[in-house]
Structure formats: C-alpha cells, structure tokens
Structure 1
Amino acid sequence: MDNFANARLLELVYDGRTYEFLEFIRIDRICEITYITLKNVITTEIFTFDEEKIRSIRMKIYPHSKSNSKKRESSCRK
C-alpha cells in the first residue's frame, strides 16, 4: 500500500452501494446522459456510472503512517 501514501482518492455511493479507492478516468456525454468513469486503484476494476444515479461522491485522504509499519516490524523481530 506504499504506492498510495497520502493518496487522495474518491468514495462514491451509487444505487445503495459504496465504492472506495477510486481515481478519476474521464467524463463522457452520450445522448444527453453524462457518464463518469472511475478506476479502483487496488483491484484495477473500471466502473462507469450514470451521473444522475450517483447519491454522493467525496474525496478521501488515505494517510500512510510509517510509525505503524515500524511498530509491526519491531514486534516481529522478538
């Protein structure tokens, strides 16, 4: 998870389901409907959402804490 240190990713609620760890890919407008395409950075899945059906979208910051990883390393060395 080091690659996502202090990552600013999106969390989205769509049709009652929550999607996390998303990064923006693109916006398309087809026949008066706006679609937002996002990618889950962990699973690499690509999702396309109808903008009108998105209930909420927010940016989340996932901080990386080096102190926690050092704590885990030291506890394993006993």
Structure 2
Amino acid sequence: MTIFSDCGYYEMDFQNMHFRHLQFVRMDKICEVLYVTMKNVLTGELLTFEHNEINWIRKMALTSELVPLHIVGIAQTQEHSLY
C-alpha cells in the first residue's frame, strides 16, 4: 500500500461501511494477517482494519469541509463597509 507514503487524510470503504477523515498511524502483521491502524482526525478515535477486508481507499482532497474558509466572506464584508 504505497498510498501511505506521505501525510494526508484518507477515506475508505471497509466491509461496506464508509470512513472519512482518516490519518494513517501504522501497519502491523500479526499471525500472517496484515492490519492497518488509522485515526479519525475529527473524533480522535483509533480504528484498526484488516487489510484484506478494505474494499477501497483513497486520499481525500483538503477542502472547506475540513477547514472552513470564511475569510472570503469577511473580506467582502469589510470591503463593502469601507464605502
């Protein structure tokens, strides 16, 4: 899984359940089973997934969903108040 080569946030489907806002923590191999541990950055919850049960995983784009960008609205409000 080279997808974990850099920092970022991920979303995945595990046993037909959708998980979002995950950050990679580590991978462990126990008794020939590979486990992936991820952290939900919004709740702080640590989640461990069995690798072969993951249907798909992809890197999330950092959008205003994670970081609200109200700066544009503030700048427009301030600009109009100057006139």
TM-score (norm 1): 0.75
Deviation, structure 1 residue 17: 0.5
Gaps of 5+ in 2: 1-6
Deviations 1:3-45 (A, max 9, x none): xxxx830001001111000000000000010000000000000
Identity %: 30
Runs of 4+ in 1 over 2 A off after TM superposition: none
For the pair 1:29 / 2:47, whether they are aligned, the reply is no
* Paired positions, count: 67
Q: Which has the higher contact order (CA 8 A, sep 6+)?
A: 1
CA shift at 1:62, angstroms? 1.5
- 1:69 is aligned to 70
Tell me which moved more, 54-63 or 27-36: 54-63
Which residue matches 2:39? 39
In structure 1, stretches of 5+ residues that fail to align are: 1-6
Greater fraction strand: 1
CA distance in 2, matches of 1:14, 1:50: 9
Aligned alpha-carbon RMSD (Å): 2.3
Bigger Cα Rg: 2
